[in-house]
Amino acid sequence: YVAKKERNTSKMYSPSMNDVPKKELMLENSLYKALEHGQFTLFYQPKIEMTTGRIYGAEALIRWKHPEFGMVSPLDFIPIAEKTGFIIPLGEWVLHTACQQIREWERMGMTGMSVSVNMSMLQFQQKHIVHTIERIISDAGIRPQQIELEITESIFMDNAVHTLKVLHELQNLGVKLSLDDFGTGYSSLSYLQNIPLHTLKLDKSFISDIVSDFKKQMIFKSLIVIAHNLNLKVVTEGVETQEELSIIREHKCDAVQGYIYSPPVPAARFAEIYLEHNR
């Protein structure tokens, strides 16, 4: 972990105290201690395969149990971690914890779980990222195929050539790659053409109002056809209602994640849901 090395630099380029909201500053200052004090935890949200209805894996989503603020959302501290470089040790902790969890689940008889882990741009700028990922996976004694790294197009904003090389090395290692949040921001079809992807994740914004919005439905339907023709699996995120689910089923989307099945839950709760659901 490079936590100690990064610590000083993060303080040096902090913007002046007046510009930054107080809570953000307090969070920034307590991030490092939080990792040392074990205040981070991973929640897991089931990924359900449409054809079988079975849970085949989970997405790992980080939570911060802050002693003063309570459960802090990743939306509030991941941007800070990215700005300060803390995402490097934190990202390693996330992958390590997810891999150990897969191992633990294997021991419990939950075999072949596919766990998705979110990655930040800065992690891909690390020289030894592929080696680090390989080491964490082999230390846990799991197969690289059990890990799916979720990326967004933002990882290409800095040094796209290097990033693409890293992605090909990861593909050779055997880990799967999925493009997250497709349909938001600057999502472009050219990414589907150039990245060695396994899965396309359609963002929640794609299916909210899909029931009443015919054009949205046609785009959704067509994107699934495009993805399938490119040999990609399609996962829809943020599914909340039966109506949404039936449209998703109709258009042959491969898998879903959403509150309709379960929100992200602690690992122990996930195992209960899994055993109950896949019985």
Q: Which residues bind ligand C2E (CB under 6 A)?
A: 45, 61-62, 73-75, 78, 94, 118-120, 150, 180-181, 204, 237-240, 257-259, 264
For ligand C2E, which is the closer residue by CB, 19 or 36?
36
**Could you say whether residue 118 binds Mg ion (CB under 5 A)?**
yes
For ligand C2E, which is the closer residue by CB, 144 or 238?
238
Stretch that binds Mg ion, among 3-11, 119-127, 144-152, 222-230 (CB under 5 A): 144-152
| Bridge pairing between strands 233-236 and 176-182 | unpaired
The item of Mg ion, ligand C2E, none sharing an interface with residue 94, based on CB under 5 to 8 Å by kind, is: ligand C2E
Q: How many CB atoms lie within 10 A of CB 57?
A: 25
Largest Cα span, the chain: 56
| Residue 39 beta carbon to Mg ion: minimum distance, rounded to whole angstroms | 21
For ligand C2E, which is the closer residue by CB, 93 or 228?
93
Nearest CA-CA partner of 227 in 195, 185, 260? 195
Structure tokens at 269: 């709760």
**Could you say whether residue 153 binds Mg ion (CB under 5 A)?**
no
Instruction: Give the 3-state secondary structure of 97-161.
Output: HHHHHHHHHHHCCCCCCEEEEECCHHHHCCCCHHHHHHHHHHHHCCCHHHEEEEECHHHHCCCHH
**Could you say whether residue 82 binds Mg ion (CB under 5 A)?**
no
Helices 87-107 and 129-140 sit at what angle, rounded to 10 degrees?
Answer: 30
Residues 163-202 close enough to bind Mg ion by CB under 5 A: 180-181
| Residue 90 beta carbon to ligand C2E: minimum distance, rounded to whole angstroms | 7
- The residues that touch Mg ion, with contacts defined as CB under 5 A, are 118, 150, 180-181, 237
